[in-house]
Chain A
Amino acid sequence: MTELHHLGVAELAALLQSKQVSAVEVATRFLARLGGNPHNAFLDIDSEVTLAQARESDAKLANGTAGPLEGVPIAHKDVFVTKDLVTTAGSRILNGYRSPFDATVVARLRQAGMVTLGKLNCDEFAMGSANENSAYGAVSNPWNPAHVPGGSSGGSAAAVAARLTPAATGTDTGGSIRQPAAFCGITGIKPTYGRASRYGMVAYASSLDQAGPMARSAEDCALLLSAMCAPDLDRDSTSLDVAQENFSATLGHSLQGLRVGVPAEFFGDGLAADVRRAIEAALKQLQALGATLVPIGLPRTELSIPVYYIIAPAEASSNLSRFDGVKFGHRAADFADLNDMYKKTRAEGFGQEVKRRIMTGAYVLSHGYYDAYYLQAQKIRRMIADDFQSAFASCDVIAGPVAPTTAWKLGDKADDPVASYLADIFTLPASLAGLPCMSLPVGLGDGGLPVGLQLIGNYLQEAKLLNVAHQFQLATEHHTQQPGAAA
């Protein structure tokens, strides 16, 4: 039998349901791989908590009350609050924080039977594209440890790629699931805004934040997404009132006649040659599977950068005002008065990128600048959303690169925030519109670093995206490739 850590979610679930392996055996195998914290992917591990859940799962498997994913391990990005493990969101200000409750997504996955392996490193408050903004150190890319894993769900992507966990949760505000999935050669999906509950997700930019699964295949992502998403109307005011869906049901549909929109703006001069080659080959593969390529336009792609980096920091500056050293988290030791306590606490607790975004956000919302920046950005946001609706008149899904390049070297953009923002160009438009979108591996670029294909669907079309990705993965083997470090 293949070693347990090489198996995906569907395979492990089958072995567990047929009692060929126990949840405790699976958990023990994965916990053993976490020693020394490879790639600095994890922020909290508590084997007692994990094994207790695994024993509970074994009892359910024995008495016939098992959930569909009973005993399959998962690790959670550290922006999901957890009762039994520390939650820091990658920030010093939440060092040692223990939540009184589990996030809805965490609770739902446990309900489906999944066993928590630990909490995963990420950019502080999910702000970053390289996982270098974590207060607990950078994460390295399993394909080449001198390179970044992407961000902000960098720990999630690295852990799945290195076979430290078969699955992870991520969150995506401007590309934070898709870009690290692309950089680490795994599969990840951000559902339609409102599909997954945001209850218990440490808020960054509330009109953009969305949870999603990261795993090794579209088939696994479909199982995870089906368990994660359901209405949470009493706890999340933006939770969509649409019935829970089985995203695995339509994976087998043929791609014959599928219209794939290819936006010209995603293939400009900024696109690296190795990424272009891999993406074009993937598009040819989709054609071979029966799809037709349709040229489309998303004319405001470039504008999505300033629009996103106005709106997200504006929302962040408001959301992060809760970190004041009173109810939870760090408090400065010496201060003159209450105001001074706030200022010193926040100065000590927040990292540079978080401070920059809070400052930018406070500025664009401040008196005299609100109309010119924040309101103007919100208007262009609607134009970007409308552009997608025009595009979907002639296609069923949109395909293009996730990022202009493969993973860059650690430190390369660390001192140049704008360079890092510009690299988000292809993931921001779908985020601003709130559309479902995913990344799947389509081969290796120069230096053996993975390239990700982005698929974008219309609202609530997650099943279509997963169907396209699954059919692609049935016909290709890119998603089965693994970094040398994973053996």
Chain B
Amino acid sequence: MSLTTTDIARIANLARLELQAEESARMLDQINAFFDIVTQISRVDTSGVLPMAHPLDAMPTMPPIHLRLRPDVASEPNDREANQRSAPAVERGLFLVPKVIE
């Protein structure tokens, strides 16, 4: 199976990446070269095997781990200035983005 230029354009849009024409062409070749080594996985019989999302899920000695949530209490100080120190555009403590609603 090979990807096409249309696939690359579709995925680039999903991934919010602007690709130049020459970059797209190179990406197409390289991703297809990668999928040449991926084909072998389709030949593996995985019937009855549970997908493993997480190594903790495979540790025989560990109790099953569920997504751990911390108690719902405020624990971090409000540190807006430090948190916004590296933001590209901030005004009066708010992050600025281009207009999204006309």
A contact residues vs B (CB 8 Å cutoff): 96-100, 192-194, 207-208, 233-234, 237-238, 240, 302-303, 305-307, 309-310, 317, 321, 324-331, 335, 337-344, 346-347, 350, 352, 355-356, 358-363, 366, 372-373, 375-383, 385-386, 389, 417-418, 421-422, 432-435, 459-460
Closest to A320 in B: B15
Query: Could you give 7 example pairs across A and B, Cβ below 8 Å?
Result: A238-B54, A324-B16, A359-B17, A360-B34, A380-B44, A382-B58, A385-B52
Which of these, A208, A321, A330, contacts B88 with CB under 8 Å? A330
Query: Are A240 and B86 in contact (CB-based, < 8 A)?
Result: no
Tell me which residues across on chain B come within 8 A of A373, comparing CB atoms. 38, 41
**Given the known A-B contacts A329-B88, A356-B31, A363-B3, are A194 and B15 also in contact in the complex, defined by CB atoms under 8 Å?**
no
Could you tell me the distance between the alpha carbons of A150 and B65 in the complex, rounded to whole angstroms? 34
Which of the four size classes fits the interface of chain B?
Answer: 35 or more
Query: Are B46 and A417 in contact (CB-based, < 8 A)?
Result: no
Given contacts A96-B86, A100-B85, A329-B86, 10 further A-B contacts (CB under 8 A): A192-B55, A238-B56, A327-B87, A327-B95, A356-B27, A379-B49, A379-B51, A417-B30, A433-B55, A435-B55
Could you tell me the distance between the alpha carbons of A268 and B98 in the complex, rounded to whole angstroms? 56
**Given the known A-B contacts A331-B89, A363-B3, A378-B53, are A309 and B41 also in contact in the complex, defined by CB atoms under 8 Å?**
no
Closest to B32 in A: A418
Tell me which residues across on chain B come within 8 A of A386, comparing CB atoms. 58
Q: Is the contact region of chain B dominated by helix, strand, or loop, or is it mixed?
A: loop
Most chain B CB atoms below 10 A, which of A238, A360, A372, A433: A360
Query: Are A193 and B31 in contact (CB-based, < 8 A)?
Result: no
**Given the known A-B contacts A100-B83, A207-B55, A240-B62, are A376 and B7 also in contact in the complex, defined by CB atoms under 8 Å?**
no
Q: Least Cβ distance of A241 to chain B in Å?
A: 9
Query: Are A434 and B56 in contact (CB-based, < 8 A)?
Result: yes
Closest to B3 in A: A363
Tell me which residues across on chain B come within 8 A of A383, comparing CB atoms. 44, 46, 49
Query: Are B37 and A418 in contact (CB-based, < 8 A)?
Result: yes
Does B74 make an interface contact (CB < 8 A)?
A: no
B contact residues vs A (CB 8 Å cutoff): 3, 7-8, 11-12, 14-19, 23, 27, 30-31, 33-34, 36-38, 40-42, 44, 46, 49-56, 58-62, 65, 67-70, 75, 79, 82-89, 95, 97-100
Query: Are B70 and A307 in contact (CB-based, < 8 A)?
Result: no
Could you tell me the distance between the alpha carbons of A301 and B39 in the complex, rounded to whole angstroms? 16
Closest to B8 in A: A359
Query: Are B46 and A459 in contact (CB-based, < 8 A)?
Result: no
Query: Are B27 and A310 in contact (CB-based, < 8 A)?
Result: no
Could you tell me the distance between the alpha carbons of A310 and B68 in the complex, rounded to whole angstroms? 26
Closest to A344 in B: B18
Query: Are B53 and A207 in contact (CB-based, < 8 A)?
Result: yes
Most chain B CB atoms below 10 A, which of A97, A324, A375, A379: A379
Could you tell me the distance between the alpha carbons of A99 and B79 in the complex, rounded to whole angstroms? 12
Closest to A306 in B: B38
Query: Are B15 and A317 in contact (CB-based, < 8 A)?
Result: yes
Q: Least Cβ distance of B39 to chain A in Å?
A: 8
Could you tell me the distance between the alpha carbons of A92 and B100 in the complex, rounded to whole angstroms? 26
The 5 A-B pairs of least Cβ separation, nearest first, read A434-B55, A378-B51, A331-B88, A382-B52, A100-B82
Could you tell me the distance between the alpha carbons of A234 and B69 in the complex, rounded to whole angstroms? 8
Could you tell me the distance between the alpha carbons of A442 and B45 in the complex, rounded to whole angstroms? 38
Which of these, B55, B56, B98, contacts A335 with CB under 8 Å? B98
Query: Are B52 and A372 in contact (CB-based, < 8 A)?
Result: no
